[in-house]
Amino acid sequence: MPLYCKEYNDCANLNIDLFLGLKEVILINIETIRNNPAKVKADLARRGDKSPIDDILSMDLNKRSLIHKTDTLRAKRNQISKELADLKNKPPEIIEDMRNVGTEIKNLELKVKDIELNLSELLLNLPNLPEESVSYGLDESENKVIKTIGNPKQYEFETKPHWELGSNLGIIDFKAGVNLSGSRFYVLKGKGATLQRALIQWMLNHHIREAGYTEAYLPNLVKKNTAINSGQLPKFSDNMYRDEEDDLWLVPTAEVPLTSLHQDEIIDAKDLPLKYIAHTPCFRREKASAGRDTRGIKRVHQFEKVEMYKLCTPEESDKELKSLLENAESVCKALNFHYRVVELCTGDLGFAAQKTYDLEVWSPGSKEWLEVSSCSNCGDFQARRTNIKFRNDPKDKAMFVHTLNGSGLAIPRVLIAILEQNQQHDGTINIPEPLREYTGFDQIP
């Protein structure tokens, strides 16, 4: 049976051992589908997903039938081998029969391996199932605004978008970005570059000091398996940059390497929750967004982001999602942003998420809400792929942790909000108070 993957063109070249290494994950997911296929189909339908659950069940049934047949032949071979061992003169027809049984066993094992590979591919493309509390909706237009903080600032002049402000102040050079790398790239200069560096350092310090996160410095290139663990591959291969020679992938977010920090570990429950914070550049091809948001720095191929990541027990994950959102909000509050919290509907959930809240800041120049953080509870979805478990007691059975992630925050859109919300009538920009000790200046220019 050929290995086929409609969204991952290089799927046929995936390491076979990688898929077989996910055998435990496959069995657990299959059990969920076997036990209640109607609910799985309904949950996927709420997301607008049309994954072939019936095909998965059929392949699984076929695999189990072949395994049963293989086990029966092995038992037959073992029994006859024992009987032959006691015979001085071994009948040649029985020996020949055993050779044929051995060949049949090998052929059956190859068929099982083929099915496992194809089953792995289908299961790896299944998105996480949404929580029951997540409201049904087709797309982002049906998301719910939970609360809005602050009021739009009133200006006595016509506000400008960040691309005009940045160009006029000489801090964002769009032409240089295009000359160096092409469309959707830009260059920050002078106080613009300093402001970005200050934001990164302040955000890291803020989350470490205020919420007790542990900082991590991470590779920007990761192995294929690492990207699979987080749910980026194979689903989003078209939006990732890849070094083909070494088969390494540029990270689209620090969530990808953070997910695999504890791969194949069993964590003592008393050490949970684990909370990490990391700054990385992020690289995204944005193929799915071609033609959208081409002006300014809202949607680009390379940007900086501070990412929060948590591992916790299932009982604590709802509480940890709430605190994750509060951590992200604390940055918006400290910067005195006018922002809102949005609960995503089923049709707008990310691939690995079962529940998500977005933070959106208001940009008075471009007159739109900009997402600066997406705080998600992934349940045990990533932990199953990565094989991360916890145990309350050495005698207890190990169980999968829950993982959560959220931007703390994404830099380009925070820069947009700072420039547009703090613009003055003369075109200058006031720097928010918390950043001034990091920038060394309180105004641009």
**pLDDT per position as a tens digit, 134-184:** 999 999 999 999 999 999 999 999 999 999 999 999 999 999 999 999 999
pLDDT for res 92: 86
Tokens of 87: 């015979």
Place of tokens 């540029």: 250
Give the right CATH number for 11-124 from 1.10.3720.10, 1.10.287.40, 3.10.129.10, 3.90.1150.10. Answer: 1.10.287.40
How many whole angstroms from its chain centre is CA 374? 11
How many whole angstroms from its chain centre is CA 328? 17
* CATH match of 140-444 with 3.30.930.10: yes
Whole-number average pLDDT of the chain: 92
Q: What is the DSSP string of 248-281?
A: EEE-SSTHHHHHTTTTT-EEEGGGPPEEEEEEEE
pLDDT for res 290: 62
| 309: nearest Cα among 324, 319, 322 | 324
Residues 6+ apart with CB under 8 A from 39: none
* Amino acid found at 252: P
CB neighbourhood size of 50 (10 A): 9
pLDDT for res 12: 36
pLDDT at 16 over 90: no
**What percent of the chain is predicted at pLDDT more than 90?**
84
Helices (H), ranges, 300-410: 317-334, 381-386
CB neighbourhood size of 258 (10 A): 27
Q: What is the C-alpha to C-alpha distance for residues 307 and 319, in angstroms, rounded to an integer?
A: 19
**What percent of the chain is predicted at pLDDT more than 70?**
92
Give the start-to-end residue ranges of the domains of the chain. 11-124, 140-444
Q: Would you call the peptide bond into 434 cis, given omega within 30 degrees of 0 as the criterion?
A: no
Contact assessment for residue 350 and residue 374, using Cβ atoms and an 8 Å cutoff:
yes
Q: What is the DSSP string of 354-373?
A: SEEEEEEEEETTTTEEEEEE
Q: What is the C-alpha to C-alpha distance for residues 56 and 116, in angstroms, rounded to an integer?
A: 11
What are the distances in angstroms from CA 186 to CA 23, 146, 163, 214? 44, 34, 11, 31
pLDDT for res 11: 40
Average pLDDT over residues 219-245: 96
pLDDT for res 207: 98
Q: What is the C-alpha to C-alpha distance for residues 64 and 95, in angstroms, rounded to an integer?
A: 28
